[in-house]
Structure 1
Amino acid sequence: MQKYADYIKEIEIDSLWSGRRHVVWKLDRRVNILSGINGVGKSTIINKVVKSVGPNGDITNHLMKGVHITVCPEDAGFIRYDVIRSFDRPLLNADVIGEMGANLATELDWQLFKLQRKYLDYQVNIGNRIIAVLQSGQPDAAIMAQRISEPKKKFQDLIDDLFSDTGKTIIRTENEIKFSQIGEALYPYQLSSGEKQMLAILLTVLIEDNQPYVLFMDEPEVSLHIEWQKRLIDLILELNDNVQIILTTHSPAVVMNGWIDKITEVSDITDNE
């Protein structure tokens, strides 16, 4: 049986920039913010770690030499993780996707399209769990069922609050995510870039279903309003307190709500070899 780690304790990279730099980064259980000037290697470090574990989260058989990951518990062989990147670039294969019946134009649109499918699976999963609890005959079954549905409601409430200035609210009677704005129904791909980015981040966190996992984010503040940047880390932790955040940023706003002591400069974790 695959054993999954709760979080990453340390990242070591001995081949950064063709072996000229050695990285040792001891991580916090909850929030880790990598900072530094352009070109210093922030994104390179994140990308090397993600590539080393591969799509299945295998930390036993690293796909990239020179990357060593220590986790808790130490005998775990896998990690659950997600990756959020910041660029809302045009889709290179938009014509192919258009044939699927999806009106998508950017990479964020495609990401949200895939997240919609996972969101439907998530709802089926929690629906089955609620039914099982209600049929169990336990005296507190109704309370337990409400707890199972609470993260979804919290996600919807958070999005409604964030989008309130433009009058958008999630249509809660729909199985997939749609919005109502002045009586008109909107799909996620009709949102602004900043709204898409925030929706993608929080939806990614929600569908991990409160499990321990690692959320890698490379400059997630791009396109986000400064007030959303300030709230970003708190919103993520509010949806899933078991997440470990590892992010790169250039924005002071991201750390303004009490996260300054979680900043690590690239120069502090690298040595010339």
Structure 2
Amino acid sequence: MQKYADYIEEIEIDSLWSGKKHIRWTLDRQVNILSGINGVGKSTILNKVVRGLSQGGEFPSHLLKGVRLKVSPDDAKWIRYDIIRSFDRPLMNSDSISKMDTNLSTELDWQLFQLQRKYLDYQVNIGNRIIAALQSGEADSAEKAQLISAPKKRFQDIIDDLFTETGKTIIRTENEIRFSQMGEELFPYQLSSGEKQMLVILLTVLVEDNENYVLFMDEPEVSLHIDWQKRLIDLILELNPNVQIILTTHSPAVIMNGWMDKVTEVTDITDK
């Protein structure tokens, strides 16, 4: 049986660039923010770790040479994880283009397209659990069913609150995510880059369904309004308190809501 890690305790990289810069980073269970000037190696550290994880999350035999992860529990061989990069570039990958429909034109569009499929699966899973709870005959079955559906409702409430200034609301009767704005129905691909970015992040967190997992984010603040940057970490943890966040950032706003003590400078974890 596959044994999954709850979180990563430490990242060690023997050489960040051509035999230079040994990295040893002891991680917090929940929030880890990597900071530093351009070119110091923030994204390189994240990329080396992610490249060493298989698509399914198996890691010891896939890790790049010189990259080591210490996890909890220490005998786990698998990690649930997601990686979010924030640059909304035009789609260039021919494999992706061949699968997409005419609404998709950027990388964020493609991520949203894939997340829509996961969102449908997530709804089926929680629907089955709600039915099982209601059919259990237990005295508190209705309360249990409400608890199961609460994260999805909270996700919808959060998105409606974030998008309130532009008058967009999620259409809650749809199985896929659609928006209503002044009587017009919108696809997620019609949102602004910042709206797409926030939707991708929060939807990614939601569909992990409260599992222990690691969320890597490389400069997630790009395209986000400063108020959204301030709320980002809190919203992620609200949707899934079991997530471990590992992110790089240049934005002071991301750490403003009490996360200053979770910031690590690349120079502080580097042996020169």
Do the structures match in fold with TM over 0.5? yes
- TM-score normalized with structure 1 length: 0.97
Describe the superposition over 1:98-129 as per-residue Cα deviations: whole angstroms up to 9, x where unpaired. Answer: 77534111000000000001000000011111
Describe the superposition over 1:56-97 as per-residue Cα deviations: whole angstroms up to 9, x where unpaired. Answer: 211221331100000111111111000010100001147973
Q: Is residue 91 from structure 1 mapped to residue 91 from structure 2 by the alignment?
A: yes
Describe the superposition over 1:211-253 as per-residue Cα deviations: whole angstroms up to 9, x where unpaired. Answer: 1100000000000000000000000000000000000000000
DSSP 3-state at the match of 2:62? coil
- TM-score normalized with structure 2 length: 0.97
Q: Are residues 96 and 259 of structure 1, via their aligned partners in 2, closer, same or farther at CA, if it must alter by over 3 Å?
A: closer
Written as runs of structure 1 = structure 2, the 5 A alignment for 1:115-154 is 115-154=115-154
Q: Are residues 228 and 61 of structure 1, via their aligned partners in 2, closer, same or farther at CA, if it must alter by over 3 Å?
A: same
The one-letter code matched in structure 1 to 2:222 is V
Aligned to 1:9: 9
Q: Are residues 190 and 267 of structure 1, via their aligned partners in 2, closer, same or farther at CA, if it must alter by over 3 Å?
A: same
How much does 1:15 deviate?
2.2
* Distance (Å, rounded) in 2 between the aligned partners of 1:119 and 1:94: 25
The one-letter code matched in structure 2 to 1:121 is D
The one-letter code matched in structure 1 to 2:6 is D
* Distance (Å, rounded) in 1 between the aligned partners of 2:55 and 2:65: 16
* Distance (Å, rounded) in 2 between the aligned partners of 1:103 and 1:158: 25
Q: Are residues 93 and 11 of structure 1, via their aligned partners in 2, closer, same or farther at CA, if it must alter by over 3 Å?
A: closer
Contact 1:98–1:104 at 8 Å: present in 2 too?
no
Aligned to 1:34: 34
Contact 1:168–1:181 at 8 Å: present in 2 too?
yes
How much does 1:19 deviate?
1.6
Q: Is residue 53 from structure 1 mapped to residue 47 from structure 2 by the alignment?
A: no
Q: Are residues 107 and 85 of structure 1, via their aligned partners in 2, closer, same or farther at CA, if it must alter by over 3 Å?
A: same
How much does 1:54 deviate?
2.2
Contact 1:7–1:72 at 8 Å: present in 2 too?
yes
Question: How many matched pairs?
Answer: 272
Aligned to 2:228: 228
* Distance (Å, rounded) in 1 between the aligned partners of 2:237 and 2:99: 38
DSSP 3-state at the match of 2:15? strand
Describe the superposition over 1:136-187 as per-residue Cα deviations: whole angstroms up to 9, x where unpaired. Answer: 1111111111100000000000000000000000000000000000000000
The one-letter code matched in structure 2 to 1:248 is T
Contact 2:35–2:263 at 8 Å: present in 1 too?
yes
* Distance (Å, rounded) in 2 between the aligned partners of 1:17 and 1:43: 12
* Distance (Å, rounded) in 1 between the aligned partners of 2:63 and 2:70: 15
Contact 2:100–2:110 at 8 Å: present in 1 too?
no
Contact 2:219–2:249 at 8 Å: present in 1 too?
yes
The one-letter code matched in structure 2 to 1:11 is I
Quick one: percent identity of the two aligned structures?
77
Q: Are residues 96 and 87 of structure 1, via their aligned partners in 2, closer, same or farther at CA, if it must alter by over 3 Å?
A: closer
Moved more, 70-79 or 218-227: 70-79
* Distance (Å, rounded) in 2 between the aligned partners of 1:164 and 1:109: 22
* Distance (Å, rounded) in 2 between the aligned partners of 1:255 and 1:109: 27
Contact 1:94–1:105 at 8 Å: present in 2 too?
no
Runs of 4+ more than 3 Å apart: 93-102
The one-letter code matched in structure 2 to 1:118 is K
Q: Are residues 150 and 36 of structure 1, via their aligned partners in 2, closer, same or farther at CA, if it must alter by over 3 Å?
A: same
Q: Which runs of 5+ in 1 are unaligned?
A: none
Q: Are residues 98 and 238 of structure 1, via their aligned partners in 2, closer, same or farther at CA, if it must alter by over 3 Å?
A: same
Aligned to 1:107: 107
DSSP 3-state at the match of 1:16? coil
Q: Are residues 99 and 133 of structure 1, via their aligned partners in 2, closer, same or farther at CA, if it must alter by over 3 Å?
A: closer
* Distance (Å, rounded) in 1 between the aligned partners of 2:107 and 2:96: 13
Contact 1:94–1:104 at 8 Å: present in 2 too?
no
DSSP 3-state at the match of 1:53? coil
* Distance (Å, rounded) in 2 between the aligned partners of 1:33 and 1:100: 34
* Distance (Å, rounded) in 2 between the aligned partners of 1:263 and 1:145: 38
**RMSD of Structure 2 on Structure 1 (CA):** 1.3
